[in-house]
A = this chain, B = another copy of it.
């Protein structure tokens, strides 16, 4: 068993996990279904009360004319960019170098849609207005991801968003929001979802991150955009006869958790503060702007796996099961606060942080 497997095993055995909403098991679906009348009829190929009601609810929440439920964000976002490219007759878009479409989708955008992305900004930085203005190539659409997940969930100033939106509007560039974690950033910006979405022509939101549903996404925009997206949804093989398992669970957990994002955000700031007190540990961002942040270690991945496995066994508290190496001497993990954090005894968390500090100090080479 290598260290990573040891870490996974040690994590599984812990009594408490500080992050997330708990194990992704079948109980999540059972819970979402428990009060649903079995006689309620399925959606059928995008039609029917279940899907139409939820789409309408989300369109209203996001302040857009219409919304379409998709099985995945991967599908929804490729389609959004394709529609804007076709409208302009130009198969070029721009996004961050660590955009989901660039690094997690096996180049679907290029392979299925022949769309060429321009990568904006350094991969460790956020896209700023000047990156957009300086861009020499003409594009059909700019995608902004809020928060920028792969760099710890950072956010630009709200003014920056407004300026980029104004600039794009003037230049005839469509602005698309990758809002996989849109609900999670509302407390920081102190804005409603509709206020933020008003800066964008189209928006995608996810229901299995902060909301903790099973899978599924909403794509919203004006009526002609969403109508066209339904045609592409069928082409992609996403217009399933029944999407209700995802819709019902998305709706159930949305109602339960969308108002808890401020609590998760405050808890994330508390926990990040504790990590930042440890020797050789820092969070990115240093103060979180949502429920998520990255924890960076000035130590090799393999050593941290051993240290963390030991701490999990000693305390029964799990921080993560997945450490990613950055260099030979640094590594990190991602942490998103959900329901689990409130259930974890805070004295125990402090004990974990104390042990972490001690053990990292104990490593000779840092």
Contact = CB atoms under 8 A, between A and B. Distances in A.
A288 interface: no
A83 to B, nearest CB: 12
A235 B108 contact: yes
Interface in A133-177: none
21 contacts: A25-B39, A26-B39, A26-B42, A26-B248, A29-B33, A29-B245, A33-B33, A42-B214, A71-B71, A72-B237, A72-B240, A75-B237, A105-B234, A105-B235, A105-B237, A106-B232, A112-B236, A214-B245, A215-B243, A236-B237, A238-B238
Interface of A: 23-30, 33, 36-42, 44, 70-76, 78, 105-108, 111-113, 208, 214-215, 231-232, 234-246, 248
B23 A41 contact: yes
This protein's copies in its complex: 2
Nearest to A36: B26
A27 B23 contact: no
Contacts of A237: 70-76, 78, 105, 108, 236, 238
Contacts of A40: 25-26
A237 B101 CA distance: 11
A29 B72 CA distance: 20
A108 B38 contact: no
A280 B271 CA distance: 76
A362 B149 CA distance: 70
Contacts of A75: 236-238
A74 B239 contact: yes
Contact of A38 (B30, B42, B74, B113): B30
A241 B104 CA distance: 13
Contacts of A248: 26
A24 B243 CA distance: 12
Nearest to A39: B25
Given A40-B26, A215-B241, A246-B245, A236 B108 contact: yes
A70 to B, nearest CB: 7
A39 B25 CA distance: 6
A39 B24 CA distance: 9
Nearest to A30: B38
A41 to B, nearest CB: 5
B38 A24 contact: no
A37 B26 CA distance: 7
Contact of A74 (B37, B39, B113, B234): B234
Contacts of A107: 235
